[in-house]
């Protein structure tokens, strides 16, 4: 595979890889020792992925890609933080990725923990778990105010809020989208099927 250079080419490569994974027919490309050796001096990933840390969301597996293909940033519940913004700006500015994929998923534990927290049911001993939950709380409360209470529906809203926050806070990313050099896609991953479906697409994907 030649490296996808445009947002559209990158998105098509992501979709094609995910389709192979869904069909149970992965190619496991660029995972061998020879390829590893060619990658030592440089990396030229074709997309950045910002997704949930969930152990069932393994980036290279679900998109059937290999070493050097994806620049991956993950935390529980894919919550924007300054270090996340810095990592994604690095991927865009220095590594010149044409696509950022923001990936949430059904049955997300971070969303569930936030719902439990708003209902007074979260019993977390760790001091910093609340930092994570507090960043999703606004989305959960707004959803609940509109009668939306399911984890998976709230996850979709959280993916959209995450994309919006990413763009609102990073002028670099805004400018790259406007210039046509970058697209940002918010998507959901379905654990049972392994399928990735876009929920929000920004930038020139034609």
Of the listed pieces 9-17, 22-30, 102-110, 133-141, which binds Zn ion according to CB under 5 A?
102-110
By CB under 5 A, tell whether 103 contacts Zn ion. Answer: no
Q: x/- binding map, residues 158-187, to Zn ion, per CB under 5 A?
A: ------------------------------
Q: Which is nearer to Zn ion, 53 or 83 (CB)?
A: 53
Q: How many Cβ atoms are within 10 Å of 137's Cβ, its own excluded? A: 14
Of the listed pieces 108-116, 126-134, 144-152, 171-179, which binds Zn ion according to CB under 5 A?
108-116
Q: How far is the CB of 188 from Zn ion (least distance, A)?
A: 11
Q: How far is the CB of 126 from Zn ion (least distance, A)?
A: 17
Q: Which is nearer to Zn ion, 70 or 177 (CB)?
A: 70
**Tokens of residue 187, six digits:** 């998507």
**Tokens of residue 146, six digits:** 């509109």
Q: Which is nearer to Zn ion, 68 or 109 (CB)?
A: 109
Is residue 26 a contact partner of residue 73, using CB atoms and an 8 Å limit?
Answer: no
Q: How far is the CB of 74 from Zn ion (least distance, A)?
A: 9
User: Of residues 108, 157, 159, 202, which one binds Zn ion by CB under 5 A?
Assistant: 108
Q: Which is nearer to Zn ion, 14 or 108 (CB)?
A: 108
Three-state SS for 137-203 is: HHHHHHHHHCCCCCHHHHHHHHHHHHHHHHHHHCHHHHHHHHCCCCEEEEEEEECCCCEEEEEEEEC
Q: How far is the CB of 6 from Zn ion (least distance, A)?
A: 30
* Interhelix angle 109-118/151-169, nearest 10 degrees: 100
Q: Which is nearer to Zn ion, 52 or 177 (CB)?
A: 52
Q: Which of residues 130-159 bind Zn ion (CB under 5 A)?
A: none
| Rounded CA separation 42/54 (Å) | 28
Q: How far is the CB of 89 from Zn ion (least distance, A)?
A: 23
Is residue 107 a contact partner of residue 188, using CB atoms and an 8 Å limit?
Answer: no
How far does CA 9 lie from the centroid of its chain?
18
Q: Which of residues 29-58 bind Zn ion (CB under 5 A)?
A: 52, 54
- Cα separations in angstroms, 110 against 5, 52, 136: 34, 9, 8
Interface residues with Zn ion (CB under 5 A)?
A: 52, 54, 108
């Amino acid at each position: 595979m030649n490296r996808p250079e445009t947002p559209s080419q990158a998105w098509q490569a992501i979709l094609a890889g995910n389709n192979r994974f869904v069909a149970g027919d992965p190619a496991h490309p660029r995972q061998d020792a020879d390829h590893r050796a060619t990658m030592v001096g440089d990396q030229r990933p074709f997309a950045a992925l910002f997704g949930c840390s969930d152990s069932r969301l393994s980036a290279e597996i679900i998109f059937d890609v290999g070493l050097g293909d994806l620049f991956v940033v993950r935390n529980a519940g894919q919550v924007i933080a300054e270090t996340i913004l810095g990592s994604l700006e690095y991927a865009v500015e220095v590594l010149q990725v044409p696509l950022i994929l923001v990936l949430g998923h059904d049955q997300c534990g971070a969303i569930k923990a936030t719902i439990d927290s708003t209902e007074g049911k979260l019993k977390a001993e760790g001091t910093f778990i609340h930092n994570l939950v507090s960043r999703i709380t606004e989305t959960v409360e707004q959803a609940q105010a509109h009668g939306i209470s399911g984890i998976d529906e709230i996850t979709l809203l959280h993916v959209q809020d995450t994309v919006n926050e990413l763009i609102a806070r990073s002028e670099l990313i805004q400018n790259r989208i406007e210039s046509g050099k970058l697209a940002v896609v918010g998507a959901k991953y379905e654990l049972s099927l392994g399928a990735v479906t876009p929920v929000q697409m920004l930038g020139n994907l034609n």
